[in-house]
Structure 1
Amino acid sequence: MALTYFGKLYRALNPVYAREPMSGRGAELYGGRFNPKGVPALYASTSVLTALREANQVGNLQPTTLVCYRAEIEMVFDTRDTSALAAAGFDETALADPTWRDQTTTTGEARTQRLARQLIAEGYNGLLVRSFAKGAGPGDTNLVLWRWGRGASSRLTLIDDEDRLGPAKPS
């Protein structure tokens, strides 16, 4: 069953992408746990601290640009719904599998990336999932978006009232 996410979201961006906080370009170029290379995705968190953990999972804290969005996203798959997750052939252990990068090397696509492709094909705009970053707890949550912008069903607006990042670029 799909849910609608309404609230703020946070991202801790590599400064290389700071001027394009709506692009999802890094995830598209390199792939992620829930998107294969070539599929744009925007990984956001429901709290600032979770966003910082997600962006700095390896080694020391690196330079980071923190941004905030207002979101109203329909058709979100909620992985916290264990029955819906099981119906998709998953459980939390499979979502958290740390070998997802190795799977992309051996099979071309991680199992979690296949789940994302399936959900995208079913019309989902995103996936609500627990953070698996070091130090994250059960309440640390991410929203991975595959569709976002100004549309009514996947509205995402960057909060930059003082135009600190310069003119907004369309998504």
Structure 2
Amino acid sequence: MLYRGALYRVLNPNYAREPLSGRGAELYGGRFNPNGVAALYSSLSVVTALREANQVGSLQPTTLVAYDAHIEDIFDSRDEDALKAEGMNPAVLSDTTWREQMNVSGEAMTQTFARRLMANGFNALLVKSFAPGATDNDLNLVLWRWSDRAPSRLTLIDDENRLSR
């Protein structure tokens, strides 16, 4: 699958000067990246990005960033046959216990799934949002490989260099 268009992320202002790093996900792991693997969790809409960033408690100060993306080799998790072929299903993708799995066994099932996809050459995963209030139309793109050129080009939209101030 190919994605061309805008992507959005909501960052903690402490990390806003490095909107392309993926360092936080690398340090702590995420639902779709094991510890030690950098990832950028992005959304296809601003509203989804806000939902993702504020899943617990009240809305905290945030920095919204946008990217222009041209990402090839994306695994589309909405395709249940493709999921099944990878030994995965929607219930495991949405399982809220992924953090506990990571703490108990070192890696959650969704992280193992992501590791397999990366090994098979996928640059990213398209997956529905599991944030409270999300609908089937709220989609995220989790990137494992990105750069300033194809096949996984991601360009920060900051024409006025606001983040460098």
Which band: TM-score by shorter chain?
Answer: over 0.9
DSSP-derived class of the 2:104 partner: helix
Q: 2:31 aligns with which of 16, 30, 33?
A: 33
**Residue of structure 1 equivalent to 2:154:** 156
Deviation at 1:87, TM superposition (A): 0.6
Runs of 5+ consecutive residues of structure 2 not aligned to the other structure: none
Superposed structure 1 runs of 4+ greater than 2 Å apart: none
**Residue of structure 2 equivalent to 1:112:** 110
For normalisation by structure 2, the TM-score amounts to 0.98
Give CA deviations for 1:94-124 in whole Å, capped at 9, x if unaligned: 1000000000011100000000100010110
Identity over the aligned pairs, expressed in percent?
Answer: 66
**Residue of structure 1 equivalent to 2:121:** 123
**Residue of structure 2 equivalent to 1:135:** 133
DSSP-derived class of the 1:165 partner: helix
Tell me, in whole angstroms, the C-alpha distance in 2 between the residues paired with 1:23 and 1:48: 20
**Residue of structure 1 equivalent to 2:93:** 95
Tell me, in whole angstroms, the C-alpha distance in 2 between the residues paired with 1:64 and 1:156: 21
Tell me, in whole angstroms, the C-alpha distance in 2 between the residues paired with 1:83 and 1:90: 9
Tell me, in whole angstroms, the C-alpha distance in 2 between the residues paired with 1:39 and 1:14: 20
For normalisation by structure 1, the TM-score amounts to 0.95
Q: 2:6 aligns with which of 2, 5, 8?
A: 8
Tell me, in whole angstroms, the C-alpha distance in 2 between the residues paired with 1:58 and 1:89: 30
Tell me, in whole angstroms, the C-alpha distance in 1 between the residues paired with 2:149 and 2:111: 25
Tell me, in whole angstroms, the C-alpha distance in 2 between the residues paired with 1:34 and 1:166: 29
Tell me, in whole angstroms, the C-alpha distance in 2 between the residues paired with 1:62 and 1:26: 18
Runs of 5+ consecutive residues of structure 1 not aligned to the other structure: none
Give CA deviations for 1:142-169 in whole Å, capped at 9, x if unaligned: 00000001121000000001110118xx
Give CA deviations for 1:56-84 in whole Å, capped at 9, x if unaligned: 11111111100000000000000011110
Q: 1:62 aligns with which of 60, 85, 106?
A: 60
**Residue of structure 2 equivalent to 1:50:** 48
